Amino acid sequence: MERQVPAELSPAHRIAADLDAYLGDPMDDEAGPFSYKAIVEAEERDEIPAGAVDAVRAWGFPAYLVPSRLGGRLTTLEELFFVTRGISRRSVTVAVMYGSGLLAVNPVWLWGSERQRATVADGLLRGDLACFGVSEADHGSDVMASESQADQEGDDLLLNGTKWPVGNATRGRFVTTYAKTGSRDFSLLLVDKRELAPDCWSVLPPVRTVGLRGHDLSGVMFMDARVPADCVIGRRGSGLVQTLKTLQITRTAIAALSVGTIDAVVRIGMEYSRHRTLYGTDIYHIPVIRDHLVKAHLDLLIAECVAIPVTRALTVAPGRLSLWSSIVKYFVPVMGEEVVANIGTVLAARGYLREGVAHGVFQKLQRDHAIASIFEGTTHVNLANVAGQLPFLIGSSDGEEAEDDQAEELLDDLFRWTRTPPTWEPDGRILQLTNEGLDEIGRRFEATAEEVLTAASTHAAPGVAAELKELIGGIAGLRAKLVAGIRAAEGDTSSVAALARARRYCEIHAMVSCMRTWLHNRRDFGGPFADGAWLVLCLQRLLQRTQPDTVLSEEFLPSLEEAMFRTFDERRWFSLLSLAEDDRPVRPSEE
Amino acid sequence: MNGSVTISHDELQAWLVDRIAFYLDRPPENIDPTVELARYGIDSVYAISIISDIEDHLQVEVDVAEARKRETVTALTDYLLELTG
Ligand SMILES: Cc1cc2nc3c(=O)[nH]c(=O)nc-3n(C[C@H](O)[C@H](O)[C@H](O)COP(=O)(O)OP(=O)(O)OC[C@H]3O[C@@H](n4cnc5c(N)ncnc54)[C@H](O)[C@@H]3O)c2cc1C
């Protein structure tokens, strides 16, 4: 047999492992500001642990908000996603503080002048924070109703209005402000607090929140604030389209808050289930407890399959992000909430205490994670985005769909973990407001199904191919029904039924993402990953959303549980990687 | 009401494509005048902005509901030319 050189994982994996080692094991009380002990104690005082932000800075996290061309370390969204996942399994609060900052500066990277880019890059690398002021108390998701206004006065603009609630509004130096600059036009203004006269702006008091305690959630008010006209980011009047495009990037990254949280709660749930003894043995032996933990672990694997390719899309297929980022932003946070709720039932009373198991951090993780489905477009808003595109996703694609081999190449770039995506060269114009009916993941369902069945018949473990055949037949049925439903609805994209169709579209997208992840990585990963049993389990798990009676195949569970327990014992991230053959694929070494 | 500006089909279409390109933040050459505007994500909000731009530019009053029945740039151009006579 030919001996292959094992392929190397993309650099994101090494960077994340480095951060993880640097921050230490959160379960270890001696791990410093990122131990659960320190995190819970500080939260009781509405604070982030002393030294936590310094530690993250010392590791160099702020540089991951600045593109490499401008002196930072941000090269791919995949890398940012991985480091954010690493921080989020300890503290979603710290991740949100930097995430809100990224949201604020992305318009500068995407459309800003060289001078704006240089100023902001320099500030961020020195530790300054930024905030994104779009929301207003009275207008929420309805950003077209925003009242803040910037009127021309000589060479300057006079800015008036109040932005609330805004993350980093008090501590942030830069305020990316969404304001009216014409009777029906909005612009994004880069406001530097340091350049403002002191009496023309103020911050609003801290907002008391359920979670993210210690995060600077407040607001900022401008009263005849004089700013130079060239603080407008990009072309005047394009604030709305800029905001919608910018959100595509951070919406995708928000899935990292959920994957990090899922990792944390599964770990806490497993720890508890192995130490809690009832009726003479540990509670992992109670079938329903085992079921919760196995399903939560599968949900994490599904989240990896769904989110990782879309992070890679920023530099591989940026024109597809309008649809895919909303799918990820809907799907992964909602799944995260379900996992958290289920693990809460495993912990029972211990999930309700602010002390005890893992220092009572579970309830904090739950409260913090709840933000994921709210900000940057609520679950409904993201489903509405998907619903609006559905009519175009089922019609003929007018020959615009990439040719078969081009599409296969694109899918390999998206799904194959050993491929390194190209470096991000920010350019707002390559992002689009819609996919114009193009979706290589969802639309190529039949080709994907065929490839999976062919590969499974020769390469999968015994029993897997037959099981996949049946599952895929069922999914094809769901998909046909959905397509017929979209057709029959004749352009209705806003009713409750339209949102339900969008939800189904997202579920099928998740199933195809699992299939693609198997297809594109089975050779590089080998081991139980290549056997495909996990794919059967993930598809069964996803089908439970539409057919709750679907059961997980018991015969495929032991290899999954073995990987889950080994990962737990070795204190490594729960991941599809735990199913790969030993030492494959290779983790890249320090450059 | 009669338009006070005379404008050729090609000129008007090019101007419209330019406005739409601005709202979508994409190069005008990437806009196909025969493709439905909804496919590009020109939702109702942008439709209003574009119609207001047209009214300013051509100095005519445009019936929003009628204009929105024109689904492509080409169809919208034809309709506007009829209006301006
Ligand atoms: C911790 C935290 C941090 C935040 N950080 C920032 C920040 O940094 N910058 C900033 O600008 N804002 C920030 N926000 C505000 C946040 O983005 C808004 O709360 C969010 O956009 C939703 O607005 P809303 O809460 O006013 O809900 P509303 O817009 O009032 O929505 C009410 C209900 O209507 C539904 N709905 C709205 N539109 C639609 C639609 N088109 N289709 C279907 N259903 C719809 C919503 O889903 C919701 O259920 C933050 C909020 C919090 C809590």
Measured between CA atoms, the residue of chain B closest to residue A386 is B41
Residues of A in Cβ contact (< 8 Å) with B27: 429
Please tell me the predicted confidence (pLDDT) of residue B4. Answer: 52
Please answer whether residues A351 and A264 qualify as being in contact, where contact means their C-beta atoms are separated by less than 8 angstroms: no
Q: Is A248 on the interface with B (CB under 8 A)?
A: no
Please tell me the predicted confidence (pLDDT) of residue A6. Answer: 72
Nearest CA of chain B to the CA of A118: how many Å? 23
Please answer whether residues B8 and B50 qualify as being in contact, where contact means their C-beta atoms are separated by less than 8 angstroms: no
Q: Is the CB of A380 under 6 A from ligand 1?
A: yes
* Chain B interface disruption, residue of A241, A242, A386, A390, most B CBs within 10 A: A241
Q: Decide if B1 is inside a domain.
A: no
Cα B81 to ligand 1 centroid, rounded to whole Å: 42
Nearest ligand 1 atom to the CA of A499 is 43
Residue A368 tokens read as 């913090």
Helix (H) or strand (E) holding A104: helix A92-111
d(CA A25, CA A15): 16
Q: Decide if B25 is inside a domain.
A: yes
Cα A139 to ligand 1 centroid, rounded to whole Å: 9
Give the count of alpha carbons within 13 A of A425, CB side only.
2
Helix (H) or strand (E) holding B39: helix B37-40
Cis-peptide, bond into residue A165, ω within 30° of zero: yes
Q: What is the CATH number of the domain that holds B48?
A: 1.10.1200.10
User: What is each CA distance from A571 to A173, A296, A396, in whole angstroms?
Assistant: 38, 17, 49
Helix axes A379-394, A464-488, angle to 10 degrees: 90
What do you get for the CA distance between the two ends of chain A, in Å? Answer: 32
Residues of A in Cβ contact (< 8 Å) with B40: 432-434, 436
Residues of chain B with a CB closer than 8 angstroms to some CB in chain A: 22-27, 35, 38-41, 43, 45, 48-49, 52
Q: Select from B23, B39, B52 the Cβ nearest to the Cβ of A436.
A: B39
By CB atoms closer than 10 A (0-12, 13-18, 19+), residue B18 is: exposed
Q: Select from B40, B45, B52 the Cβ nearest to the Cβ of A434.
A: B40
Please tell me the predicted confidence (pLDDT) of residue B5. Answer: 56
Residues of chain B with confidence (pLDDT) below 50: 1-3
Q: Is the CB of A170 under 6 A from ligand 1?
A: no
By CB atoms closer than 10 A (0-12, 13-18, 19+), residue A412 is: middle
Please tell me the predicted confidence (pLDDT) of residue A568. Answer: 97
Q: Is A432 on the interface with B (CB under 8 A)?
A: yes
**Which residue puts its alpha carbon closest to atom 16 of ligand 1?**
A375
Decide if B40 and A242 are in contact by the 8 Å CB cutoff.
no
Residues of B in Cβ contact (< 8 Å) with A428: 25
Measured between CA atoms, the residue of chain A closest to residue B50 is A184
Measured between CA atoms, the residue of chain B closest to residue A185 is B49
Please tell me the predicted confidence (pLDDT) of residue A416. Answer: 98
Residues of B in Cβ contact (< 8 Å) with A392: 38-39
Nearest CA of chain A to the CA of B37: how many Å? 10
User: What is each CA distance from A312 to A17, A175, A325, A430, A495, in whole angstroms?
Assistant: 19, 28, 11, 15, 32
Nearest CA of chain A to the CA of B19: how many Å? 11
Q: What string of DSSP letters covers A344-392?
A: HHHHGGGGT-SSSGGGGHHHHHHHHHGGGGTSSS-HHHHHHHHHHHHHH
Q: Is the CB of A526 under 6 A from ligand 1?
A: no
Q: Is the CB of A219 under 6 A from ligand 1?
A: no
**Secondary structure of A483-528 in HEC code, one letter for each residue:** HHHHHHCCCCCCCHHHHHHHHHHHHHHHHHHHHHHHHHHHHHHCHH
User: What is each CA distance from A370 to A45, A125, A427, A507, A540, in whole angstroms?
Assistant: 20, 30, 32, 21, 26
Q: Is the CB of A482 under 6 A from ligand 1?
A: no
Nearest CA of chain A to the CA of B67: how many Å? 18
Q: Select from B24, B26, B49 the Cβ nearest to the Cβ of A184.
A: B49
Residues of chain A with confidence (pLDDT) below 50: 1-3, 399-400, 591
Decide if B25 and A237 are in contact by the 8 Å CB cutoff.
no
Q: Is the CB of A167 under 6 A from ligand 1?
A: yes
Nearest CA of chain B to the CA of A432: how many Å? 7
State phi, psi for A73 to the nearest 5 degrees.
Answer: -120, 10
Please tell me the predicted confidence (pLDDT) of residue A328. Answer: 98
Look at the alpha carbons of A582, A584, A588, A589 in this order and tell me if their dihedral is positive or negative. Answer: positive
Please tell me the predicted confidence (pLDDT) of residue A402. Answer: 55
Decide if B43 and A388 are in contact by the 8 Å CB cutoff.
yes
Please tell me the predicted confidence (pLDDT) of residue B3. Answer: 46
Question: Could you say which residues from 165 to 224 on chain A have a Cβ atom under 8 Å away from some Cβ of chain B?
Answer: 183-185
Nearest CA of chain B to the CA of A237: how many Å? 8
Q: Is A578 on the interface with B (CB under 8 A)?
A: no
d(CA A324, CA A321): 5
Domain span at residue B58? 9-84
Residue A70 tokens read as 């401008």
Please answer whether residues A521 and A529 qualify as being in contact, where contact means their C-beta atoms are separated by less than 8 angstroms: yes
pTM of the model: 0.96
Measured between CA atoms, the residue of chain B closest to residue A436 is B39
**Which residue puts its alpha carbon closest to atom 44 of ligand 1?**
A380
d(CA A404, CA A448): 11
Q: Select from A234, A235, A433 the Cβ nearest to the Cβ of B24.
A: A433
CATH code at A242-576: 1.20.140.10
Nearest CA of chain B to the CA of A91: how many Å? 36
Q: Decide if B4 is inside a domain.
A: no
Q: Decide if B2 is inside a domain.
A: no
Question: What is the domain partition of chain A in residue ranges?
Answer: 11-125, 130-233, 242-576
Please tell me the predicted confidence (pLDDT) of residue B2. Answer: 47
Q: Is the CB of A100 under 6 A from ligand 1?
A: yes
Measured between CA atoms, the residue of chain A closest to residue B25 is A429
3-state secondary structure of A217: strand
Pick the CATH number of A130-233 from 3.30.70.20, 2.40.110.10, 3.40.1160.10, 2.60.40.180: 2.40.110.10
Look at the alpha carbons of A295, A297, A299, A302 in this order and tell me if their dihedral is positive or negative. Answer: negative
Please tell me the predicted confidence (pLDDT) of residue A2. Answer: 45
Please tell me the predicted confidence (pLDDT) of residue A591. Answer: 45
Count structural domains, chain B.
1
Fold of A11-125: Butyryl-Coa Dehydrogenase, subunit A; domain 1 (1.10.540)
* Chain A interface disruption, residue of B25, B26, B34, B37, most A CBs within 10 A: B25
Residues of A in Cβ contact (< 8 Å) with B18: none
* Chain B interface disruption, residue of A183, A386, A427, A436, most B CBs within 10 A: A436
Cis-peptide, bond into residue A585, ω within 30° of zero: yes
